Structure 1
Amino acid sequence: MTSSRPHATNPPAPAGPPTKHQLAVMIWLAVFPTLTVLNLALGDWLSALTPVLRTLVLVTIAVPIVIYGLMPQLHRLRVRLLTRQPADF
């Protein structure tokens, strides 16, 4: 017997890699809050450093957080949003 709901038997197509615009938004969503929190948490200590050294400290901390912590979560969220089944009403 066939189902009257065609999407119930057909799994959604894989999401594929993000477009450059999606990737730009994902990077912004990861980098801006990370840098904001780091600046708030380390602001007093960083204020004593030169701008170049302050930037070096920030990127040394921020890049691993973004690459290994936040971007994988954002990629999973993107796939979940793109492959979710439409709700039946």
Structure 2
Amino acid sequence: MSATESAATIAPQLPPPSTHQLALMIWVAVFPTLTALNLLLGPVLDGMPSVVRTLILATIAVPIVIYGIMPWLHRGRRAIIARIARRSGLRTQ
């Protein structure tokens, strides 16, 4: 059975991430995104008021994180849980 099949068989029974898991996933998605955006757009946004700069960065970062990065992190979490379940000998129905 491949990792994809294992993840698919465990997915219906998989609970949502805990608060701590979700916080870690969000941090892993947001920090590099904001860092990259600051490096790319810093010169363009230099001199703007902090509130305007933050509004622009958040407007760009939120869709990237929600639609681009978080789905990958959720799939990765499912794959990790499926791998742990396989290694521990747990069977999913």
Q: TM > 0.5 between the two?
A: yes
Show the counterpart of 2:50.
51
Deviation at 1:83, TM superposition (A): 1.1
Q: Percent identity?
A: 58
SS in 2 for 1:49: coil
Q: Higher relative contact order by CA 8 Å / sep ≥ 6: 1 or 2?
A: 2
- Give the number of the structure whose residues are more often helix, by fraction: 2
Matches within 5 A, 1:27-46: 27-46=26-45
Deviation at 1:12, TM superposition (A): 4.9
- C-alpha distance in structure 1 between counterparts of 2:56 and 2:10, whole Å: 43
Counterpart contact for 1:31–1:66, Cα < 8 Å: yes
Counterpart contact for 1:12–1:83, Cα < 8 Å: yes
- C-alpha distance in structure 1 between counterparts of 2:36 and 2:47, whole Å: 18
Show the counterpart of 2:4.
none
Show the counterpart of 2:22.
23
Q: Structure 2: which 5+ runs fail to align?
A: 1-8, 89-93
Q: Structure 1: which 5+ runs fail to align?
A: 1-10
The alignment of Structure 1 onto Structure 2 pairs a total of residues equal to 77
Show the counterpart of 1:71.
70
- C-alpha distance in structure 1 between counterparts of 2:19 and 2:61, whole Å: 21
- The amino acid of 1:26's aligned partner reads M
Question: Structure 1 residue 80 and structure 2 residue 85: aligned?
Answer: no
Deviation at 1:73, TM superposition (A): 0.5
Show the counterpart of 1:4.
none
